[in-house]
Each structure stands twice: as structure tokens, then as C-alpha cells.
Chains A and B, each alone.
Chain A
Amino acid sequence: METKEITIAHKKIKERIELYTHYTGEARRDAGLPARLAANLQASNEDATQLCDHIENAAIEARNIVANYFTHCTATVTDDAESGGCAHHFAMKIPTLYPAEAVQALVSTIENYIFRRALQEWLMQHRPDESILQGNEVKAATQQLHRLLTQRSKPVAATATSNKNIKI
């Protein structure tokens, strides 16, 4: 089993949420939603603590999902020097037969899951109707994570097999 370390910076996910909600708000306003409600939907720098809270909860949920399959998975929060915020540090033990190609897909799926989950929490507070759509996305991301975590590659013989029959 090898250990894989993944770092997910909160800043990256926060930016993604802010971008998404910004464009969603603009679209809703153009579609006729009152400007006040559309502005309520948009996340910005002022909501940083709230977003951080949502992201942390989503990260812990992601860790729980992964820990179901890869039994040793820890998630710790550290301070991210570059962005000044915090970062989530996942350390997981990848099973022997796990295909190498799937590891990168696993990293991006975890990020995706955290993004969708945190976004769902945010929308549940500010505009519950939108959060139903995000709920479907979260379900899809969970399913994808499950499928990725159960992938295995074919076992290869360590050494060439030698068949010896000796008569003494």
C-alpha cells in the first residue's frame, strides 16, 4: 500500500463557488428575478467565514466516503502559506492493485465533490430552490467517487513462474 497525499486549498474552492454564484445571480437577474434576491445569491469575499465552514464540512464528508473504501484516510486542516487561508490535507493509503491512472481522476473527483457539496450548503441558506439542483450534482459526484474507489487493475505475476518437478 502506498500513501497518497492530497492538498486541497480552500481558496481554490472558494473562488470556484464565488464564480459560479456570480454568474448564476446575473443569469437569474436577467431572467427577471428581483435584483435584491439575485444579489443575495452571490457569494463574495465578505462571506469568507461562512464559505470556509461549508468547505470544511464538505471535506470531512469526502474523507468519510473515502475512508469507507481506503480504510486509512485522514484529513487535517493546515494553514496554506500561499493564499493565507487554510488547506485540507488528505493522507490516504492506496491499495496495491489500484490503477495508477485512476489516482489523478480520484483527486479531481474529490475536489469536485467538495465544491458541489459546499455550494449546496450555501444555496440552501440563500436560495433553497437552487440547492435541489445541486443536490443532484452531489449525488452524481458521490456515485462517481464510489465507482472510482472500487477500481482495481489486474494482478500481475511478480516473477516468471517456474514449474519444477524433481525426482530424487
Chain B
Amino acid sequence: MRNTILIKRDELQQQTDLRNFYMGESAKRKDNDADTLQSSTEEKELFVMLQSRALNELVTAVGLRFSFINYSIQEEYIEITFNTTDERRSHLLPMLKQAIIDYLVNEINMQWLLLRQPAMAQPYMSLRASLYSNVQQLFAKFYNGSPVRRRSTNLAGI
């Protein structure tokens, strides 16, 4: 059966703007010029590009392992589709959606900060790997038979 995840693009934009707003407000206490960190719908063109880059990066990385995944970017929604054999794990769909949103928002924020103030992008860069592995592990649940790389401690403990 075909599973679809729809993410509203406005929601991504709004989450990014909100994060940048709070970050900018606290940065302004030290240096008043931190308003350059705060984004809004004015920079919509830039964020459209960053959104599609982030999504492509995510889906490509996941698709290398699970090749049944597909995505399309529409006017209002981002659509991610993949096929599974049965309904067993369909309760994981909301979790998967949230994990994808977390990854995308983190990635978009990181790219935005690399443009505006690279020194502040470090926390986002360190979160990238763990957020990506969340998405990948959740996907792996849908395809039970696919081999997921186990940690060496796990293997050694057999």
C-alpha cells in the first residue's frame, strides 16, 4: 500500500521564522545588529530554495537505502510517498512526519545561519546526524527485512 506524508510549506517557513526570531532576540542583548538573523516571509525565495535542497538531501540519503521512496514539491505541500506491503506499521506515520519536519527545519536553519552568521551554525550541524538517523531508523521499521547497520557493540554481544 502507498503511504503519503504531506508537509505544509507554510508550516516549515513559520517554524524557521519563529526559531530565528527567538535566536535573534537573545543575540541582540549582546550585539544590537542581530536583526539580520531574523527571517520573515520576505526571504521567501531563499527559503524555497533551501527547502527543496534540504528535502532533496534527506530523501536522497534515505532513498539510497530504501529505494521505494518518492517526493514532490507542490505549491502548498511537500509530498513524500513510499510503498509498503501491509498496514502493520502505519501507526508510525505521524512520528515519521515529525521526524522529517525536525530534520528539515534544522537543515534550513543551519543553511540560513551559514549565510548570515556562520559562527552560530555549530549546534545545528551537530544535531544533523542524530536527526537524520531518527528518520532513517523510522523508515527501517516499515521495511522490516532491510538490514540496518548495527553498532559494533551489538554485534559483538551476540
Interface residues in chain A, defined as those with a beta carbon under 8 Å from any beta carbon in chain B: 1, 69, 95-97, 146-147, 149-152, 154-155, 157-159, 161-168
Chain A interface, DSSP helix/strand/loop, else mixed = loop
What is the CA–CA distance of A117 and B14 in the complex, to the nearest angstrom? 41
Q: Using a CB–CB distance below 8 Å, which chain B residues touch chain A?
A: 1-6, 8, 10-11, 14, 17-18, 21, 24-25, 28, 32-35, 38, 40-42, 81, 87, 90, 93-94, 97
- What are 18 sample pairs from A and B whose C-beta atoms fall under 8 A apart? A95-B42, A149-B35, A150-B33, A150-B34, A150-B35, A152-B38, A154-B21, A155-B18, A155-B40, A155-B41, A157-B11, A163-B94, A163-B97, A164-B6, A165-B6, A167-B3, A167-B87, A168-B81
Compute how far the CA of A69 lies from the CA of B14 in the bound complex, rounded to whole angstroms: 23
Asked if residues A158 and B93 are in contact (CB atoms below 8 Å), the reply is no
- Complex formed: what's the CA distance from A150 to B5 in Å? 38
Cβ–Cβ contact A165 & B42, under 8 A: no
Q: Are A146 and B21 in contact (CB under 8 A)?
A: no
Main secondary structure on chain B at its contact with chain A? Answer: helix
Chain A residues lying within 8 Å of B10, measured Cβ to Cβ, are 157-159, 161
Distance (whole angstroms) from the CB of A89 to the closest CB of chain B: 24
